[in-house]
Amino acid sequence: MGRSGPYERYYAERAESGKRTVLWPWLFLALVVPLLLARSFTVSDDSAQATAIHGATSTAPSGQVAGGVYRAGFDVVPGTWTTVGPPAGTDCGYVRSAPDGAEIARAVLRGPGAARLADGESVVFTGSCIWTAR
């Protein structure tokens, strides 16, 4: 290898035969690829509606739910939801999310607990707890 690097012989042979190095592919890569990458990382201004995905149990008329994903004001009533806790030796929990999908709170319970849901928030109840609206 010479001072020009590993392609010294290649460029020397091209120069002897009168061929020029083509620059347009490099310019294309330098200009277009960053634009494509920037476009793939932009966030849309469209606000997507949250879609409720139900677990095994849906909202019951008695105001009780089990594990699953629910949206306050749509699937369950907003307000305070309580549980007496899971069976011995197990745990359960919840994750509350704002209407925009940002996580608000999460908890893992091994005993009694409560979660307060505002209208439009989503909640994921996990484990074997039965949750009751108060």
Same domain, 117 and 69: yes
Same domain, 69 and 122: yes
Residues 6 or more apart whose CB falls under 8 angstroms from that of 125 comprise 55, 65, 66, 67, 68, 70, 92, 93, 94, 131
Q: How confident is residue 16, by pLDDT bands cut at 50, 70 and 90?
A: confident
- 76 belongs to a structural domain: yes
The whole-number pLDDT of residue 12 equals: 83
Same domain, 36 and 75: no
Residue 122, classed as helix, strand or coil, is strand
pLDDT > 90 fraction of the chain, expressed in percent and rounded: 30
What is the number of domains present in the chain? Answer: 2
Fill in the DSSP letter of residue 14.
H
pTM exceeds 0.85, yes or no? no
96, pLDDT greater than 90 = yes
Domain that holds residue 77: 64-133
Per-residue pLDDT tens over the stretch 17-74: 888 777 777 788 888 877 777 766 655 544 444 444 444 444 443 578 988 899 988 8
